[in-house]
A and B are shown apart, each in its own frame.
Chain A
Amino acid sequence: MKKYVISIAIILVIVSYIISQKLTTNTSASANIPTNNTNTSATDKTSNNGGSSSGNKSKSGIYNDGSYIGSVADAFYGNIQVKAVIKSGKITDVQFLQYPNDRGNSIEINSYAMPILTQEAIRAQSSKVDIVSGATDTSAAFIQSLESALNKAKI
Chain B
Amino acid sequence: MKETRLMMGMPITIEVVDKNITHKDFNDIWKYFDYVDQKFSTYKDESEISKINNKSLKSEDYSSDMKLVLKLCDQTKDLTNGYFNINKNGYLDPSGLVKGWAIYNAANILKEKGFRNFYIDAGGDIQTYGNNSKGEGWKIGIRNPFNREENVKVLKLSNVGIATSGTAIRGQHIYNPKKLNMELNEIVSLTVIGPNVYEADRFATPAFAMQRNGINFIENLKGFEGYMIDSKGITTFTSGFNKYVE
Contacts and interface: CB of A to CB of B under 8 A. Distances in A.
B9 A137 contact: yes
- A interface residue count range (under 10 / 10 to 19 / 20 to 34 / 35 or more): 35 or more
A27 interface: no
Contact of A130 (B88, B119, B179, B239): B119
Contact of B177 (A38, A45, A76): A45
A124 to B, nearest CB: 4
B184 A35 contact: yes
Contact of B176 (A49, A110, A111, A127): A49
- B interface residue count range (under 10 / 10 to 19 / 20 to 34 / 35 or more): 35 or more
Interface in B42-74: 42-43
Contact of B216 (A37, A114, A130): A114
A100 interface: yes
B93 A134 contact: no
Interface string A27-67: 00000001101101001011111111111100000000000
A59 B238 CA distance: 40
B164 A134 contact: yes
B216 A112 contact: yes
Interface string A126-154: 01111111111111001100100000000
Contacts of A137: 9-10, 123-124
Contact of A132 (B10, B82, B141): B141
A112 B213 contact: yes
A35 B174 CA distance: 20
A40 B234 contact: yes
B105 interface: no
A46 B82 CA distance: 37
A136 B96 CA distance: 14
20 contacts: A38-B184, A38-B234, A48-B177, A50-B150, A77-B93, A78-B88, A90-B181, A93-B182, A93-B183, A103-B205, A115-B219, A119-B235, A130-B139, A131-B126, A132-B151, A134-B124, A134-B148, A136-B148, A136-B168, A146-B173
User: Which 5 A-B pairs rank lowest in CB-CB distance, beginning with the nearest?
Assistant: A51-B147, A48-B233, A134-B143, A76-B9, A135-B166
